[in-house]
Amino acid sequence: MSVSPVILWFRNDLRLQDNPALNAAVASGGPVVPVYILDEAGEGTWPAGGASKWWLHHSLAALDASLRDRGSRLILARGESGEVLGDLITATRAHAVYWNRRYEPAVIARDKTLKADLTASGVEAKSYNSALLFEPHTIANKQGKPFQVFTPYWRQCLTQAVAAAAPLKPGPLPAPTHWPESATLADFALLPTIRWDSGFHGVWTPGEAGAHKQLKGFVAEAMSHYEDRRNLPAQPGTSRLSPHLHFGEVGPRQVWAAVRALSGDSGVFPPSRGAQVFLSEIGWREFAHHLLFHFPHTPEQPLRDDFKRFPWADDHDASKLTAWQRGQTGYPIVDAGMRELWQTGWMHNRVRMIVASFLVKHLRLPWQHGAAWFWDTLVDADLASNTLGWQWSAGCGADAAPYFRIFAPVTQGERFDVEGAYVRRWVPEIARLPDNYLHAPWTAPDNVRAYAGIEGRYPDPIVDHVTARQEALTAFKALRGHVEERDA
């Protein structure tokens, strides 16, 4: 008597290696039917943005190719997850559905209902952890409550063992005799009709193979210098693994194992200060999911309730928001970041902090505007990380930067883009300015501006730093009373 199939439901775990749900499905002894369901309504108020859809298209294509190399394939379907799975169970006579867990509030609610419904109908429903080193419900402070400060959170995490990555055994995957019908990737319509994605193709390689190539290159070449170079946007000093981690093309256990492998016979772990700092960034990703799980309102509302009363500025015609989105603020380091984002779907982390600070403190516009823009334009748009980053910048979240810590864009540019290579790449209309004027073009004498050819090509600042800074501090004082004043 043949064993009935297991439906393997792929989500943000688009890989074969270290995939607990896949390993469990293979271990069941029956055929495995891999499926990806495009269920935008199931994402709640945060369906994938345009850049994420681009990545998803190519990642699904890569996953299907990997499955076909193993004698399997990826079934694609669109619709409400429960209904689609019900139809697949009927078509395949599957006895079980396995998947890896996600931690966004809407997805948790959907999965809880779905698991109960499947179980009630006699179908085995099992979920696994593939996305995190430490699931949110497993880490708590001494009072049994969630952490709201990173350092003690990560210190507690590091007292726990990290599970080993689980490889998939070689050879063909068990396949059903008859495959159910499948949609095509074209049916999903994930790619843009207006080709704003032209700059993405030479920058990214979505898929499991691309993820491992990126991880291997970073660990071998850049990680030892990570502490020194990670804040320099013109240098290849960061891992650029964030989109691969978000889509689950590589898992954090695999990242941990790749770093640990460098320890070799010495047994010293982490093997370098750069590795220690890099792993703490993996920790921030874990912390973001910890916060989102325990405080599910934070994608839309500040964690600190008093910030609901913050006196944001009026941008009635949205001109300042538009200038920020288009990289036309007149502050080169800000504009370089926003243009890098639009053209590549990614922005260097130091520059993300600078542009976020500019939006919420210089323009005094709600952080939710920035979170929404990043959500649509980042290939690594992740609800947990996006929420943590924006609430950190706005000063209204857990372990947040104090609101009165205002990033001065000229100072930040001069400090972290000393030779101006980053600005000159992304804001080419001011590339001929000398270094001493590059980060503040409006201060250049007329003859220098004329030589550089920037008149009429690059805007003057849309706000004055000194004035905007003081207005931000005044607004914060109205909320909190007296505060220390300092730039960053």
- Active site amino acids: 281, 284, 312, 349, 367, 390
Residue type, 261: A
Distance (Å, whole) CA 463 – CA 384: 31
Residue 187's H or E segment, with its range, is: helix 185-188
Cβ neighbors of 53 (< 8 A, separation 6 or more) are 190, 191
Distance (Å, whole) CA 476 – CA 251: 40
Cβ neighbors of 439 (< 8 A, separation 6 or more) are 332, 333, 409, 410, 413, 414, 417, 420, 423
* Residue 406 bridge partners (DSSP): 487
Distance (Å, whole) CA 474 – CA 428: 36
Structure tokens at 70: 């193993």
E strands of 116-268, at which residues? 124-128
Distance (Å, whole) CA 413 – CA 439: 6
Residue 84's H or E segment, with its range, is: helix 81-92
Match 């949609």 to its residue by tokens.
183
| Residue 456 backbone class (left: φ over 0; alpha: ψ -120 to 50; beta: rest) | left
Describe the strand order of the beta sheet including 32-38 as a list of residue ranges: 75-78, 32-38, 6-10, 96-100, 124-128
> Judging by beta carbons within 10 Å of its beta carbon (0-12, 13-18, 19+), is residue 252 exposed, middle or buried?
buried
Cite the DSSP H helix spans in 329-366.
332-344, 349-357
Evaluated on CA atoms 353, 356, 361, 366, the torsion sign reads negative
Distance (Å, whole) CA 372 – CA 264: 44
Pair 288, 132: CB distance under 8 Å: no
∠ Cα 285 250 111 (to 5°): 70
DSSP-assigned letter for residue 42? G
Cite the DSSP H helix spans in 345-464.
349-357, 367-377, 383-394, 409-416, 421-426, 435-438, 446-452
Gyration radius (Cα) of the chain, Å: 24
Pair 324, 369: CB distance under 8 Å: no
